[in-house]
Structure 1
Amino acid sequence: MTNAANYKTAMKAFIDGFASVHPEEIHSDWVLLPVNKKVAAVVMAMNEEQSISSALRELERMPLNEMIVVVNGSTDASLTLARTSGKAIVLNYNEALGHDVGRAIGAKITTSDIVLFVDADIPVAAEQLVPFVRAASRGVDVVLNDLSRYVGKFADWDEVTIMKYFLNRSNRREDLSVNSMTAVPHALTRKAIEAIGSANLAVPPKAQAIAMQRGLKIGIGGSVNVFTKNRHRTDNVGLSNPISKLIMGDHLEALGWSMKEENPRLKYIDHLRRRDRVKDANQHYHPHL
């Protein structure tokens, strides 16, 4: 397998060679995947008529085994546009499923070895998705988007960024910094989906906590600045907006799960406090009658 630096050159040479034999079949914008495993993509879409076609077009440039589009609660043309893709399996729900539930549904019905997760409101170039697939093919079970370079210094972090870091740090993964399954794109191996449980993907921080606690290999794939690409809505802008409150709650749920699974203090050992003495005191206390 070629390294990342030479991959683009090798891919272009392969496509040019193929085109010389089959000129009627080739597309100049194809992006081949440097893996011999089946790769799927799961796409969430809710009222994304402005961007869904671009998001799907980038995925169609790759030889994906499956492309699952979960359209939910849409009142615009998202469903119609999704159905124009000749490669997508489109699941439509009239009601809004809630944040990230569609990812869990999509993951449950996929059969591929590696699954990419993207959102229809943030088109990501196929070339930027290749590193995530590459990392998963090389044994990284949970492949995250590296956003640490975009969040600035600690003093500038918002509450969600701080919670992302605290969850990782509490689970002894300071190396992951603020990187989280809450952010797209990310990728999971089949092993990760089965170990985490597809239903738990509906709460990404909890899914990440499960991955950390169960010893899955978690690492970085690429670095896609989704902050500048994310479409502003009434529920995701402003201090303590509804989406940030939801994500904060998800992290509290994840921390609660981790504390129950391991111990109430996680990595923060209680070095000085001798709690056992409280119990001893109760046992030796004999009040005068």
Structure 2
Amino acid sequence: MQATRRGRAGGRGSGRGRKGGAKAAPKAAALPRRTGRSGYAGAQRPAYMAGFADASALHRSGGAPAGPDAKLRMNEHWTRYCQRGGRRARGPAQGRAYADGFADGLRLPRRGWVPVALARAASAVVLAGSRASAEAVEQLLRLPFQDVIVVLENAGPDAFARLRALPDVTIVHTRERLGADVGRTVGARMTRAELVLFADGEAAVPAEQLAVLLAEAHAGCDLVLADVSGRLGPFRGWDDAARIRAFVNWSLGHPELNANSVAVLPHVWSRAGLERVGLPQLAVPPMAQRAAIELGLRIRCRPVAAPKPGAGADPAGAAAKAKLAAGDHIEALRAAMRAKGARLSLPDLARRRSAAGGRMP
């Protein structure tokens, strides 16, 4: 990264007051700032130096961590750095600089770590099948997760080998189909982390965007959804799945959620939210969202760009998933109607049914 520095007008070498029309020296603003071996200058330089200093102190003490412990220790120190420096220290550019400085201070290769100011433990549950993508899991490995649990179902040896080659990943591998979304419950039972991110193991999302979801959950939300509104376009162009998700949210009294849902990956739950909803509910995502809404959980949406899809998408499989998702949303609406009445949150302003006598459907 290159940075420039402004010079002071009238300084030495400016030519001011000299006779003979001496040519003025170039402005200092046009000269590049030297960044040194770190590659960081300007606003990111203090964060890099802080990371380097923290790691160097660990290295000198003989307690230098390695492997995944190094990433977690880096994130602990980054969290303290943010607490000391306030909100100005928390930008993604400063985070990258701090992480690189920490790696340099430990004499380790830079891994592209993405720090997140967390005072609570976080884990990731990855749902994958035969088209499992190593790139999708590699993005998660850049984040400060205590565990990355991959639930790999109905997949052959090639998919298993792709994921097995990755470091620091726990794989739950079954050749049988667990059933749609049952892997969410399986993965959630394997971790006690206070924040759990659910991700698609067949579509890569940049770690920087996942970090935003984690930070929002850490700030006090029980459920943070990926906001897909920006990529849906005008309503006339929405697919059936998006329209059904929006209709369910509207019917449950939360139109601000738009077409966003736990049926869409990625998203983050707090441990408290998971326990209140119940882990078995995760196997039917619309039912989990209905429960979260009825329990009054704190739900937020944060934009996430369209994930990079894996190779060899199966149109027939996608159609089957869409049909199943539609049925799941209808099931969620029926459950809400049994609990709250047939009209849910929608008042009938067109007719006074009581005047007709008897009970009308």
Tell me the TM-score range normalised by the shorter chain.
0.7 to 0.9
* 1:188 pairs with 2:272: no
Pair 1:35-2:118 in alignment = yes
In 2: Cα distance, 1:17 partner to 1:48 partner: 36
Distance in 1 (alpha carbons) for counterparts of 2:317 and 2:305: 19
Q: Does 1:229 align with 2:316?
A: no
User: Per-residue deviation at 1:236?
Assistant: 4.5
Q: CA shift at 1:21, angstroms?
A: 2.7
- Tell me: CA distance 1:201–1:216, structure 2 relative to 1, closer, same or farther (3 Å): same
2:268 is paired with a residue of what secondary structure?
strand
Q: What letter matches 2:149 in structure 1? A: I
Tell me the SS of whatever aligns to 1:92. Answer: strand
Deviates more, 1:254-263 or 1:72-81: 72-81
Distance between the aligned counterparts of 1:55 and 1:100, measured in 2?
A: 18
Summarize the Cα distance change of 1:154–1:13 in structure 2 as closer, same or farther, 3 Å threshold. Answer: closer
Partner of 2:71: none
User: How far apart, in 2, do the equivalents of 1:246 and 1:230 lie?
Assistant: 21
State the SS of the aligned residue for 2:124: strand
Distance 1:273 1:3 in 2: 54
Partner of 2:324: 246
Q: Relative to structure 2, which stretch is displaced further, 215-224 or 11-20?
A: 11-20
Gaps of 5+ in 2: 1-81
> Structure 1 residues 3 and 182 mapped into 2: Cα distance closer, same or farther (>3 Å)?
farther
- How far is 1:3 from its partner? 4.3
Q: Is the 8 A contact 1:18 1:26 kept in 2?
A: no
* Contact map agreement 1:181 1:205 (CA 8 A) in 2: yes
Structure 1 residues 3 and 26, CA, compared in 2 at 3 Å: closer, same or farther? farther
Could you tell me which runs of 5 or more consecutive residues in structure 1 were left unpaired when the two chains were aligned. 281-289
Work out the number of aligned pairs and report it.
273
Q: Which consecutive aligned stretches of 4+ in structure 1 deviate over 3 angstroms post-superposition?
A: 1-6
Distance 2:305 2:115 in 1: 19
Larger relative contact order (Cα-Cα within 8 Å, sequence gap ≥ 6): 1
Code of the residue aligned with 1:160 in structure 2: it is A
| Secondary structure of residue in 1 paired with 2:203 | coil
| Equivalent residues of 1:144, 1:187 under 8 A apart | yes
Where do residues 149-188 of structure 1 align in structure 2 (5 Å cutoff)? Answer: 149-188=230-269
User: What is the alpha-carbon distance in structure 2 between the residues aligned to residue 270 and residue 26 of structure 1?
Assistant: 64
Matched residue, 2:228:
147
TM-score by length of 2: 0.71
* Alignment pair present for 1:47 and 2:130: yes
- Cα pair distance change 1:189/1:156, threshold 3 Å: same
Please tell me whether the aligned partners of residues 117 and 186 of structure 1 are also in contact (alpha carbons under 8 angstroms). yes
Bigger Cα displacement from structure 2, 244-253 vs 154-163? 154-163
Identity %, equivalent residues = 32
Find out whether 1:273 has 2:347 as its counterpart.
no
CA distance in 2, matches of 1:124, 1:4: 26
In 2: Cα distance, 1:58 partner to 1:13 partner:
18
Give the Cα separation in 2 of the matches to 1:159 and 1:122.
21
Distance verdict in 2 for CA 1:258–1:150, change over 3 Å = same
Is 1:9 the counterpart of 2:89? The answer is: no
Question: What SS does the corresponding residue of 1:221 show, helix, strand or coil?
Answer: strand
In 1: Cα distance, 2:213 partner to 2:175 partner: 32
Q: What's the TM-score, normalizing by structure 1?
A: 0.87
Tell me the equivalent position of 1:286: none
Greater C-alpha radius of gyration: 2
RMSD of the TM alignment (CA)? 2.1
For 1:173 and 1:86, the matched residues in 2 are separated by 41
Is 1:18 aligned to residue 102 of structure 2? yes
